[in-house]
């Protein structure tokens, strides 16, 4: 049996907000990246990336994004737009999209269209008003389900997935198999680091009978 290595314990009650953040983004890895598009009540489009993101359940189909608003309690464009319209579109970020995604992360004012700044072509949404980024390998059109206020400037937005677009060369409609290599998604690590998802391996969970047969 392999001897376990030693571990360093951190009591979160004794850490600052920034210290807790550094520990979490360094340990919960890799995290999928959501490039979220919204439109304001006046129809102004917006795009912003979020790495505090994941799918939580399939029935109903719910995704979650963690939004950190401004310290003075003002909403970021994404949070405000979702509150106004109840709609957003989550795009999965692949390796080819990373540089343009980072442009969308720049803290532009609400009058700036990040999609235009990043040179991203879009098409109008079908089930929601938010635009769909054509270069993304997948896009999930969502309707706001619940907003959880978890701190003065932090909230978790749950969205019900109404429909999904997947690149046609990455999905087999007959069996719904999605080619993970073709998706070429990236994940967020700690600091400024990302990772590619090209090194794949399979593990099949055994049934109790299969486990017993192994002795």
pLDDT in tens, 36-87: 999 998 899 999 999 999 999 999 999 999 998 777 767 788 999 999 999 9
What does the alpha-carbon distance between residue 185 and residue 180 come to, in Å, rounded to a whole number? 8
pLDDT for 111 equals: 82
- Looking at per-residue pLDDT, the higher value among 43 and 94 belongs to 94
pLDDT for 107-138, tens place per residue?
888 788 999 999 999 999 999 999 999 999 99
pTM of structure:
0.93
- Position 1 pLDDT exceeds 60: no
Q: How many CB atoms lie within 10 A of CB 198?
A: 11
> Cα–Cα–Cα angle for 101, 200, 185, nearest 5°?
10
Q: Are 17 and 25 in contact (CB under 8 A)?
A: no
**Alpha carbon 100 to its chain's center:** 15
Q: Using H for helix, E for strand and C for coil, what is the string for 61-129?
A: EEEEEEEECCCCCCCCHHHHHHHHHCEEEEEECEHHHHHHHHHHCCCCCCCCCHHHHCCCCEECCCCCC
**CA of 174: how far to CAs of 139, 170, 178, in Å?**
20, 12, 11
Contacts for 104-107 with beta carbons within 8 Å, 24 or more apart? 104/35, 104/47, 104/48, 104/49, 105/48, 105/49
Q: Are 126 and 137 in contact (CB under 8 A)?
A: no
Provide Rg for the chain, Cα atoms: 19
Q: Domains in the chain, ordered, with CATH?
A: 13-213 (2.30.110.10)
Three-state DSSP state, 4: coil
Three-state DSSP state, 14: helix
Mean pLDDT across 169-192? 96
């Amino acid at each position: 049996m392999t001897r376990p290595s030693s571990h360093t314990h951190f009591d979160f009650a004794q850490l600052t907000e920034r210290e807790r953040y550094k520990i979490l983004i360094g340990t919960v890895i890799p995290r999928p990246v959501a490039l979220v598009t919204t439109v304001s009540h006046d129809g102004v489009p917006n795009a912003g990336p979020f790495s505090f993101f994941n799918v939580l359940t399939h029935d109903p189909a719910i995704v979650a994004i963690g939004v950190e608003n401004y310290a003075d309690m003002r909403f970021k464009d994404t949070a405000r737009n979702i509150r106004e319209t109840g709609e957003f579109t989550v795009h999965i970020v692949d390796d080819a999209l990373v540089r343009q995604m980072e442009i969308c992360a720049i803290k532009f004012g609400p009058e700036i269209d990040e999609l235009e700044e990043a040179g991203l072509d879009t098409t109008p949404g079908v089930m929601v008003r938010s635009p769909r980024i054509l270069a993304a390998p997948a896009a999930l059109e969502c309707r706001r389900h619940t907003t959880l206020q978890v701190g003065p400037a932090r909230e978790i937005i749950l969205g019900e997935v109404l429909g999904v677009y997947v690149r046609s060369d990455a999905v087999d409609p007959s069996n719904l198999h999605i080619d993970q290599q073709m998706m070429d998604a990236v994940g967020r690590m700690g600091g400024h680091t990302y990772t590619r998802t090209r090194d794949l391996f399979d593990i099949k969970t055994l049934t109790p009978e299969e486990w017993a047969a192994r002795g």
